[in-house]
Amino acid sequence: MLSALAEPTERDDESTLRPKRLSEFVGQPRVREQLELVLEGAQRRGQPPDHVLLSGPPGLGKTSLSMIIAAELGSAIRITSGPALERAGDLAAMLSNLVEGDVLFIDEIHRIARPAEEMLYLAMEDFRVDVVVGKGPGATSIPLEIAPFTLVGATTRSGQLTGPLRDRFGFTGHMEFYEPHELEQVLRRSATILGVDLRPEGAEEIAGRSRGTPRIANRLLRRVRDFAEVRADGEVTREVARAALKVYDVDDLGLDRLDRAVLSALVRSFGGGPVGVSTLAVAVGEEPTTVEEVCEPYLVRAGMLARTPRGRVATALAWAHLGLTPPPQAPGEGTRWPPVE
């Protein structure tokens, strides 16, 4: 319910709800303003803008923003992803098909294979690739011109990008979790598109449990709508939203079963930590990457979990949320630890 990753069945809904222009894109004021300048500047000079990197947790609007960049430029967008670019040849084919001014979107760019990444350096810098023909001592490399284009890369793990790749982006937008009032705005927009009778208090209730993530807000809205239509008269009031979210096991802080399982294991099995993420993942029967990328960013942001050099630690707030008394050594809310990637 609360995973920030899109379910395959959600894809159609997502494209209906995706903002199409920068003016429709809610929140992220900093990234939006910076991007506006980058795009406007380039358009005035009549050149494709610098390459753009968008980084941040899933569901915050990276893919939407990439499409918006192309729309604002009036350019075509070609979409691929890091894992799809396993061989440099796959990338060479994409690059050589680009038309001047195109936007090339590479999702999950941190997962690109090394040979493709190296080809990308030259392409980004000089709009050129060297295609190697043949093998062994007889191999020759043929330089190939490519049309000036703008690369837009998206990543949930910017720490995993190599320095040389990161350096070749002219602009990096760091996407932040959304404030509740911004999520209410996202919800109002979605409700209008979907024809849901969403009351302000209903929006407030859903926004507060959406983990700062528009994708989750939209998903909760669809589930609450089902409940409102089946068990009530269709109107999404605060009471209807509350009752619906109770059915789906979403608590008042937006934590779901897995988040609570993680906190509970951390507190009850490991005395509040520190404990390594893999150990914690085993304790809840999940993959470490799921715990790390799906649960943790929000638990950290909500001030319940701290990532320390020695492992994960439950804060006093986490103990309290589970109805337990925190031990004296539990870090307080808002404790700042050195960030670890």
Ligand X SMILES: Nc1ncnc2c1ncn2[C@@H]1O[C@H](COP(=O)(O)OP(=O)(O)O)[C@@H](O)[C@H]1O
Known active-site residue 107: yes
82 part of the interface to ligand X, by CB under 6 A: no
Per the listing, tokens 């630690």 go with 313
**Binding partner of residue 59 among ligand X, Mg ion, none, CB cut-off 5 to 8 Å per kind:** ligand X
Strand partners, 236: 198
Residues that bind ligand X (rule: CB under 6 A) add up to a total of 19
Known active-site residue 301: no
293 part of the interface to ligand X, by CB under 6 A: no
| CA distance linking residue 209 with residue 256, whole number of Å | 10
Known active-site residue 156: yes
275 part of the interface to ligand X, by CB under 6 A: no
212 part of the interface to ligand X, by CB under 6 A: no
CB 91, min distance to ligand X, A: 21
Q: CA neighbours within 13 Å on the CB side: how many for 175?
A: 30
Catalytic residue among 150, 156, 213, 315: 156
Kindly identify the residues of this chain, within the stretch 143-172, that bind ligand X according to CB under 6 A.
Answer: 154
Known active-site residue 256: no
User: Which position among 3, 31, 48, 62 is part of the footprint of ligand X (CB under 6 A)?
Assistant: 62
The residue range among 18-26, 109-117, 140-148, 286-294 that interacts with ligand X, by the rule CB under 6 A, is 18-26
244 part of the interface to ligand X, by CB under 6 A: no
Known active-site residue 150: no
210 part of the interface to ligand X, by CB under 6 A: no
Catalytic residue among 155, 209, 213, 215: 215
CB 64, min distance to Mg ion, A: 8
User: Which position among 2, 31, 51, 59 is part of the footprint of ligand X (CB under 6 A)?
Assistant: 59
Show the 3-state SS of the chain: CCCCCCCHHHHHHHHHHCCCCHHHCCCCHHHHHHHHHHHHHHHHHCCCCCCEEEECCCCCCHHHHHHHHHHHHCCCEEEEEHHHCCCHHHHHHHHHCCCCCCEEEEECHHHCCHHHHHHHHHHHHHCEEEEEECCHHHCEEEEEECCCCEEEEEECCHHHCCHHHHHCCCEEEECCCCCHHHHHHHHHHHHHHHCCEECHHHHHHHHCCCCCCHHHHHHHHHHHHHHHHHHCCCEECHHHHHHHHHHCCCCCCCCCHHHHHHHHHHHHHCCCCCECHHHHHHHHCCCHHHHHHHHHHHHHHCCCEEEECCEEEECHHHHHHCCCCCCCCCCCCCCCCCCCC
User: Which position among 35, 52, 53, 63 is part of the footprint of ligand X (CB under 6 A)?
Assistant: 63
The residue range among 17-25, 82-90, 262-270, 330-338 that interacts with ligand X, by the rule CB under 6 A, is 17-25
CB 179, min distance to ligand X, A: 12
330 part of the interface to ligand X, by CB under 6 A: no
Binding residues for Mg(2+) are 63
Binding site for ligand X (CB under 6 A): 14, 17-19, 25-27, 58-64, 154, 186, 214-215, 218
As annotated, the active-site residues are 62-63, 107, 156, 215
Residue ranges at the known binding site for DNA: 307, 312
